Amino acid sequence: MMKRFALTGLAALALMASAAVAADESATIRAALAKVLPDFKPTSVKATPMEGLYEVEIGPQVMFVTGDGRYLIDGAIIDLESRENIAEQAQARARLRSIEQVGEENMVVFEAPSPEHTITVFTDIDCGYCRKLHEQIQAYNDAGISVRYMFYPRAGADSPAYDKAVSVWCADDRQEAMTRAKAGENIPKRQCANPVAEHRQLGELMGIRGTPAIVLDSGDMVPGYVEPKRLAGLLEQSASAN
C-alpha cells in the first residue's frame, strides 16, 4: 500500500513539474510575441502533440511557436500518420470559438425548419454573389441549413453598404429588411446600437477579403457563393471527416 502511494505521489509530482515547465514556456512565448505583436494578446497558449511546439490562439487566428519563443511557424503542419493538417484544424476551431463569442443574438438568422447544419455567412448588402446566395435562402433552409448572417461591408465604414447594413440591423423586422435590401430595394435609413463594426473587424482578423465568405459548422471557411445542394454535400462531407 505504501509503495502504491509513493508511486502515486511521484506521478503527481511529475505532472506538476510538467505543468510548471509548460507554464514557463507559455510565459516565454507570450513575452516574445508581445515584443513583435504588442497590439495582440494571445487568448490561449497550449502544447501540441509535437514536443516543444505550442499552439497560440489570438482571437480567430492561430500560429505555432517554439517553447523558447524564438521560432514562429506559419503554414501547414501535417501529421503523416493520420494525414491531417493540424494547423488547419486548429484554425477552424479558433474561427468557431470567435464566431460563437459574438452570439446568434447579434446576427441576422434565417433558421431552417429542421436544421441539420448551421453556416455563418459574412455578407455585403451590395455584393452580387451575396444577393444570389440570398435569393436561394429558402432552398438552403429546405436543405436543413440554417443561415446566420454577419455583416462585412467591403468598402468600410464610410460606404453605402455599411449604412445599409446598419439600417437592416435597426429595422423592426431584420429578416424582411435583409431580403428587401439584397433585392436592391431602398429600405428606411436608420441608426441604432449595432454590431456591424464588430462583425467587420472579426472578418478582417479571419483574413476575409471577398464576400460571401461561408464558415461551415466545422469551422472550415469556403470563399464565394455555393449553391444549396453542393453546400449540403460539403457540410455532410465535413461532418463525416470530423
Residue 179 C-alpha cell reads as 431580403
Least Cα distance to 205 among 3, 26, 43 occurs for 43
User: Which of these, 135, 131, 125, lies nearest to 163 by C-alpha position?
Assistant: 125
Q: Name the CATH architecture for the domain at 107-241.
A: 3-Layer(aba) Sandwich (3.40)
pLDDT in tens, the chain (242 residues): 433 334 444 333 333 333 444 567 888 888 888 888 888 788 888 888 888 888 888 888 888 888 888 888 877 888 888 788 888 888 899 999 999 999 999 999 999 999 999 999 999 999 999 999 999 999 999 999 999 999 999 999 989 999 999 999 999 999 999 999 999 999 999 999 999 999 999 999 999 989 999 999 999 999 999 999 999 999 988 777 76
Structural contact between residues 127 and 167, judged by C-beta atoms closer than 8 angstroms: no
CATH number of 2-99: 3.10.450.70
The Cα 223–Cα 138 span in angstroms is: 21
Q: Between the CA of residue 35 and those of 28, 31, 50, what are the distances in Å?
A: 11, 7, 25
| Three-class SS state of 61 | strand
Provide the pLDDT for residue 76. 81
Give the model's pLDDT for residue 22: 59
Instruction: Reduce the DSSP state of residue 12 to 3 states and report it.
Output: helix
State residue 32 phi and psi, 5-degree precision. -65, -45
Give pLDDT, residue 110.
98
Query: Would you please indicate which residues are annotated as catalytic (active-site) residues?
Result: 124, 127, 130, 154
Q: Sheet with 145-151: list strands edge to edge.
A: 108-110, 145-151, 117-123, 213-215, 221-223
Residue 6 pLDDT: 41
Q: How far is CA 211 from the centre of its chain?
A: 15
- The cell numbers describing 199, all together, are 462583425
- State residue 242's pLDDT score: 62
Can you read off the three cell numbers belonging to residue 191? Answer: 441608426
| Every domain range in the chain assigned CATH 3.10.450.70 | 2-99
